[in-house]
Amino acid sequence: MNTLFMKKFVFLIFLFALKICFAQTNLVPNPGFEEHSSCPNDMWQISLANHWQNATLCLSEYFNSCGTNWVSVPSNASGFEFAHNGLAYAGVYGFYNTVNYGQGYIQTQLIDTLKSNIKYYIEFFISLADSLSLATTHMGAFLSDSSIFVSTYNTLPLTPQIISSTIEQVTTKNGWSKISGYFTAHGGEKYITIGNFNPDTIADTVFVSQAHWYPGAYYYIDDVFVGTDTTVSVAENQKELSYFNVYPNPSKEKLFVEYRFADLKNEKHTIDLFTIDGKLMQTLTVNKNMGTVTLDVKDLPSGNYFISLGSKTLNKKVTIIH
């Protein structure tokens, strides 16, 4: 074996090792709820998202941009929210003090069984829905050896390994909050269940706004991660490279949009203002990769709108009031 061949061989082995070391290994199948057997057309259809199911009698929702108005993305029966990533997400009740509702939970079987004495990183994203008036302070994830299904509408009597830790995480309606943490597996865990695990659900609730429907706490859920790689999803890292901020929100006359694009090429980008049903109201073309622009909104009707940055790769909901 000649020296040149040996060098190439060693280099290829080195690249392969790097690929293994830096691979994004997520043990959650269909973590963003993108894969589905069919588009949702009614409530309580989480089973249409491949690999996901309910853990109690309180049925959970599946939202997808291909669904009907009730269960579409971004606008649906529970509110208005773009997916954290992609075109779909799940939805569960964190609290609903009514017979046949109660607490909802979603569950999936992991791709592989967790190993004993290995530290794992767990992450998922939640967004409080607009239509109900409460938040709940104990949204979490429970890792178990076996599948869970309990014939109840009540809280599951389980202690989650990962749980929300701040009020800001569970009260965010405009955008997504990350719930995350580490735990050391005892070995054999193969299922993840997500929901509110606080047995005292009434004391657990926080008032956030006047209810459009009934008092309760409802959460969208997206991008679930279980793995030993703490760099987590490539999509999230890419999102952090592109950025924009809109203020003041609500606004009466002007909206200021701060932006930064991830790519470093001097290409044209657009900033668009849409109604919630997708009608384009204003558009600006920017030639710089970062800066601040102004949208004049004083002549627009009061209501909710959304601003998209870069062909809708990033979106923010805004409110105009007069």
Q: How far apart are CA 238 and CA 261, in angstroms?
A: 10
Predicted confidence (pLDDT) at residue 98 exceeds the cutoff of 80: no
Locate tokens 């929901």: which residue?
Answer: 195
Give percent of the chain with pLDDT exceeding 70: 79
Q: What's the Cα-to-Cα distance from 62 to each of 36, 44, 66, 274, 300, rounded to whole Å?
A: 9, 7, 11, 24, 33
User: Which pLDDT score, from 0 to 100, does residue 12 have?
Assistant: 39
Higher pLDDT among residues 209 and 124, named by residue: 124
Sorting pLDDT into bands at 50, 70 and 90, what band is 297? very high
Residues 2-23, mean pLDDT to the nearest whole number: 41
User: Which pLDDT score, from 0 to 100, does residue 120 have?
Assistant: 95
Predicted confidence (pLDDT) at residue 2 exceeds the cutoff of 70: no
Least confident of 3-12, 109-118, 299-308: 3-12
**SS3 letters across the chain:** CCHHHHHHHHHHHHHHHHHHHCCCCCCCCCCCCCCECCCCCCCCCHHHECCEEECECCCCEEEECCCCHHHCCCEECCEECCCCCCCEEEEEEEECCCCCCCCCEEEEECCCCCCCCCEEEEEEEEEECCCCCEEECCEEEEEECCCCCECCCCCCCCCCCEECCCHHHHHCCCCCEEEEEEEECCCCCCEEEEEECCCCHHHHEEECCCCCCCCCEEEEEEEEEEECCCCCCHHHHHHHHCEEEEECCCECCEEEEEEECCCCCCCCEEEEEEECCCCEEEEEEECCCEEEEEEECCCCCCEEEEEEECCCCEEEEEEECC
Q: Per residue in 245-293, pLDDT tens?
A: 788 888 999 999 887 766 545 567 788 888 877 788 999 888 777 788 8
Least confident of 9-23, 61-75, 204-218, 254-268: 9-23
Q: Per residue in 114-171, pLDDT tens?
A: 999 999 999 999 999 988 888 888 899 999 999 999 888 888 889 999 999 898 899 9
- List of residues 6+ apart from 142 with CB closer than 8 A: 148, 156, 158, 159, 160, 161, 192, 193, 194, 197
With contact defined as beta carbons under 8 Å apart, do 206 and 198 qualify?
no
Q: How far apart are CA 307 and CA 152, in angstroms?
A: 41
Q: Per residue in 35-60, pLDDT tens?
A: 999 999 999 999 999 999 999 988 89
